[in-house]
Amino acid sequence: MAAAGMLLVMQRCHEELVRLGDKADAAESDPGAGLRARILAQARWAENHPGLYKVLHENTVHRRLGKPFKEVMVQRTIESVQRCMDAGVAPADDATTVAIDLRTAVNGMLSQRINEPDLPWPPAVEQLDRFLTKLVGIDHPATRG
């Protein structure tokens, strides 16, 4: 029963993260700025809900496969990356691979900030912009749009 309750909480959190990301992405006309806004919205959520973020990413229940709600956020990131590629904002590549690399970097960044808060972290937005440049190939995402 405890696992079922945790799955329900995880589903609601994932749905909220997707909603926030979709809203932020839709508010931008440039796909690079939209991808950046999507990731920043999710990063702000993690910053404001560190305990829930840890539950989403650092427990054995989360590792179970076959949870469609978990796949939605990955798919949205793939779609956002593909829009960047289609618009010529990012170089053509395999959008799935690029999106998974980006999600891995962002999730690692967020987890490390939560678990190691006393390290001399650079501003999260600057770190994210480096990820977007190095992993997705978007030049100067902060000035796009």
Q: pLDDT value at position 143? A: 43
Give residue-wise pLDDT tens across range 16-46.
Answer: 989 999 999 999 999 999 999 999 999 999 9
Indicate the domain borders of the chain: 2-143
Residue 125 clears pLDDT 50, i.e. is over it = yes
Q: What is the residue whose two structure tokens read 């932020």?
A: 24
Q: Give 140's DSSP letter.
A: -
Decide if domain 2-143 falls under CATH 1.10.357.10: yes
- Sign of the CA dihedral running 136, 138, 142, 145: negative
Which tokens hold the place of 112? 């490390």
More confident residue, 5 or 40: 40
Residue 1: pLDDT over 50:
no
